[in-house]
């Protein structure tokens, strides 16, 4: 399969330039002006458009068993929706139950992911500690292409990692050349605040943000950063949602600590007024953790992205339909936490970021693809339009528009937190591994065409 993308402007994180891009098999094989192509090559006219590396969503949960149910999108529907939005690689999470073997869980998730239409790779969560966990982290890094471990500082009585687990796992990650990541919220405080609210009879979704104020997130972010500093590990903080957490990251980075931050498309553009809606189904649809915040926090997140203290954009795609969310209709703590967005992230960040002048097109590529590839050691296979890189590309029409709606989305769940938002800047074509998988609104995703992306350790392991 040979495809030539003609007449577009290639946008990489470091520069933009006019060039044709020739793909053969699953790789980019030539970039230059007026390239020759075989007569049977598929030709994509990219005149007036940008040619960018496919998006990498650093944070998704397809087919996740969570809070008594399983997310609506599986690895096929979720990755296919991503392709429709220009995202060609997802980073999902293996989440073992406490006491469960990490390897057993890893193989379970690999089995579920075999139906993916786009590429995928896994962070593995450390939800408990033992000698066996120590050993299995080594096997995952050495033999299974895992170089990042996730720690939930929230979800007490479920998957929360205590300080002992954080310290031991960060230490082990450093030894292995892997990067620890954290969901930063103080799970004890969340639990206490939830119980207080329920005792006062405040049981609806408006209680959700009250149980998870910015200080609860900032405490955990500061703690994770302090632990990483003492141990000398890098640390990556997922879904940074508030100014206080960003401040913790910025302070640490200013002192030379290697701390990375991820912003969610939803946190960048949606505010906490959604929890006040009289339509409780709508309010429950927005229950995710950390919650949506006020506009003050949104402005801070944009500054963090532009200023370089936040590095990646993701979605935390974790879809539940209204019936699933209704499990918490009498008790907000039982609403399955999670929202979608894998299909919309690129357009939402472009529209709110590039069209507003907040980000340049190259900065957009940096925060939607390149930084993720570099932080998680997939670069330059991913994250750049370059000869030898995977032919995962998005041809981006900066004038194309789309009104986001659950009624027209490919993703499941029947709900969209960006409902009604008209975005300018959409993919006209998405290529995954050299195949045109999305063309002018038509999705041609193929079940099982996605590949697992091995991510080598950062340093030589000695375990």
Question: Which residues would be at the binding site for ligand URP (CB under 6 A)?
Answer: 61, 183, 288-289, 316, 318, 337-338
Q: Report DSSP letters for 383-451, one per residue.
A: SS--TTSB--EEEEEEEEEEE--TTT-SSSSS--TTTT-EEEEEEEEEEETTEEEEETTEE---TT---
Q: Which stretch binds Zn ion (CB under 5 A): 294-302, 315-323, 353-361, 402-410?
A: 315-323
Q: Which residues contact 152 (CB under 8 A, 6 or more apart)?
A: 125, 127, 159, 160, 161, 182, 183, 187
Query: x-or-dash pattern for Zn ion, window 14-33, by CB under 5 A?
Result: --------------------
> With binding defined as CB under 5 A, does residue 136 bind Zn ion?
no
Nearest CB to ligand URP, comparing residues 3 and 337: 337
> With binding defined as CB under 5 A, does residue 345 bind Zn ion?
no
Q: Which residues contact 408 (CB under 8 A, 6 or more apart)?
A: none
Dihedral sign, Cα of residue 251, residue 256, residue 257, residue 262: positive
Q: Shortest approach of ligand URP to residue 341 CB, angstroms?
A: 11
Where do the DSSP E strands lie in 268-377?
312-314
Q: Are 207 and 332 spatial neighbours (Cβ–Cβ below 8 Å)?
A: yes
The runs of H, that is alpha helices, within 145-213 are 163-176, 187-199, 207-210
Nearest CB to ligand URP, comparing residues 331 and 442: 331
**Would you call 339 helix, strand, or coil by DSSP?**
strand
Nearest CB to ligand URP, comparing residues 125 and 140: 125
Strand partners, 64: none
> With binding defined as CB under 5 A, does residue 183 bind Zn ion?
yes
The label of the residue with tokens 């939800």 reads: 127
Nearest CB to ligand URP, comparing residues 240 and 354: 240
Q: How far apart are the first and last CA of the chain?
A: 42
428 binds, among ligand URP, Zn ion, none (CB under 5 to 8 A by kind): none
Nearest CB to Zn ion, comparing residues 37 and 124: 124
Q: Shortest approach of ligand URP to residue 183 CB, angstroms?
A: 5
Phi, psi values for residue 400, rounded to 5°: -70, 145
Nearest CB to ligand URP, comparing residues 61 and 366: 61
Q: Shortest approach of ligand URP to residue 318 CB, angstroms?
A: 4
Q: Shortest approach of ligand URP to residue 255 CB, angstroms?
A: 28
Of 366, 303, 336, 409, the C-alpha closest to 56 is 366
347 binds, among Zn ion, ligand URP, none (CB under 5 to 8 A by kind): none
Which residue of 20, 244, 316, 392 would you call a contact of Zn ion, by CB under 5 A?
316
Q: Shortest approach of ligand URP to residue 301 CB, angstroms?
A: 16
338 binds, among Zn ion, ligand URP, none (CB under 5 to 8 A by kind): ligand URP
Residue 164: count of CB within 10 angstroms of its CB: 9
Q: Cα 299 from chain centroid?
A: 20
Nearest CB to ligand URP, comparing residues 217 and 244: 217
Nearest CB to ligand URP, comparing residues 61 and 151: 61
Q: Shortest approach of Zn ion to residue 37 CB, angstroms?
A: 42
Nearest CB to Zn ion, comparing residues 219 and 316: 316
Q: Shortest approach of ligand URP to residue 337 CB, angstroms?
A: 3
Token pair for 436: 């045109």
337 binds, among ligand URP, Zn ion, none (CB under 5 to 8 A by kind): ligand URP
Largest CA distance in the chain: 72
Nearest CB to ligand URP, comparing residues 67 and 449: 67
Q: Shortest approach of Zn ion to residue 32 CB, angstroms?
A: 41
368 binds, among ligand URP, Zn ion, none (CB under 5 to 8 A by kind): none
86 binds, among ligand URP, Zn ion, none (CB under 5 to 8 A by kind): none
Of 164, 233, 156, the C-alpha closest to 195 is 156
Phi, psi values for residue 407, rounded to 5°: -75, -15
Is it true that the peptide bond before 171 is cis, omega within 30 degrees of 0? no
Distance (Å, whole) CA 118 – CA 389:
16
Q: Shortest approach of Zn ion to residue 95 CB, angstroms?
A: 9
Q: Shortest approach of Zn ion to residue 179 CB, angstroms?
A: 16
Distance (Å, whole) CA 433 – CA 455:
17
Query: Residue number with the shortest CB distance to ligand URP?
Result: 337
Give the footprint of Zn ion on this chain (CB under 5 A).
183, 316
């Amino acid at each position: 399969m040979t495809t030539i993308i003609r007449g577009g402007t290639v946008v990489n994180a470091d520069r933009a330039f006019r060039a044709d891009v020739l793909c053969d098999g699953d790789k980019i094989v030539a970039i230059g002006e007026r390239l020759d192509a075989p007569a049977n090559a598929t030709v994509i006219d990219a005149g007036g458009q940008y040619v960018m590396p496919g998006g990498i969503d650093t944070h998704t949960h397809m087919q996740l068993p969570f809070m008594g149910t399983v997310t609506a999108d599986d690895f096929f529907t979720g990755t296919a929706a991503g392709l429709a939005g220009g995202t060609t690689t997802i980073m999902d999470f293996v989440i073992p139950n406490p006491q469960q073997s990490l390897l057993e869980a890893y193989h379970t998730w690999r089995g579920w992911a075999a139906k993916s239409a786009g590429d995928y790779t896994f962070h593995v969560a450390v939800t408990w500690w033992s000698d066996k966990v120590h050993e299995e982290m080594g096997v995952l890094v050495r033999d299974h292409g895992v170089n990042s471990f996730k720690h939930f500082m929230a979800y007490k009585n479920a998957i929360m990692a205590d300080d002992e687990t954080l310290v031991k796992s960060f230490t082990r990650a450093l030894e292995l050349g892997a990067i620890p990541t954290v969901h930063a919220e103080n799970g004890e405080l969340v639990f206490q605040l939830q119980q207080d609210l329920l005792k006062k009879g405040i049981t609806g979704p408006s209680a959700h943000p009250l149980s998870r104020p910015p200080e609860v997130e900032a405490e955990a972010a500061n703690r994770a950063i302090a632990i990483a500093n003492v141990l000398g590990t890098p640390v990556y903080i997922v879904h940074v949602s508030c100014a206080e957490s960003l401040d913790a990251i910025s302070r640490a980075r200013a002192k030379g600590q290697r701390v990375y931050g991820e912003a969610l498309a939803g946190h960048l553009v949606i505010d906490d007024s959604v929890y006040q809606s009289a339509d409780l189904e709508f309010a429950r649809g927005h229950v995710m953790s950390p919650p949506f915040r006020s506009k003050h926090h949104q402005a801070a997140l944009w500054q963090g992205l532009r200023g370089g203290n936040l590095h990646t954009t993701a979605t935390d795609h974790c879809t539940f339909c209204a019936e699933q969310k209704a499990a918490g209709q009498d008790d907000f703590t039982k609403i399955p936490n999670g929202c979608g967005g894998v299909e919309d992230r690129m357009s939402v960040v472009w529209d709110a970021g590039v069209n507003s002048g907040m980000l340049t097109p190259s900065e957009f590529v940096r925060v939607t693809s390149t930084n993720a590839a570099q932080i998680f050691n997939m670069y330059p296979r991913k994250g750049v339009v370059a000869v030898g890189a995977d032919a995962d590309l998005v041809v981006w029409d900066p004038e194309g528009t789309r009104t986001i709606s659950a009624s027209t989305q490919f993703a499941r769940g029947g709900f969209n937190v960006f409902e009604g938002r008209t975005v300018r800047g959409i993919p006209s074509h998405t290529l995954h591994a050299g195949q045109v998988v999305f063309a002018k609104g038509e999705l041609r995703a193929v079940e099982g065409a996605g590949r697992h992306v091995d991510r080598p350790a950062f340093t030589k392991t000695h375990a």
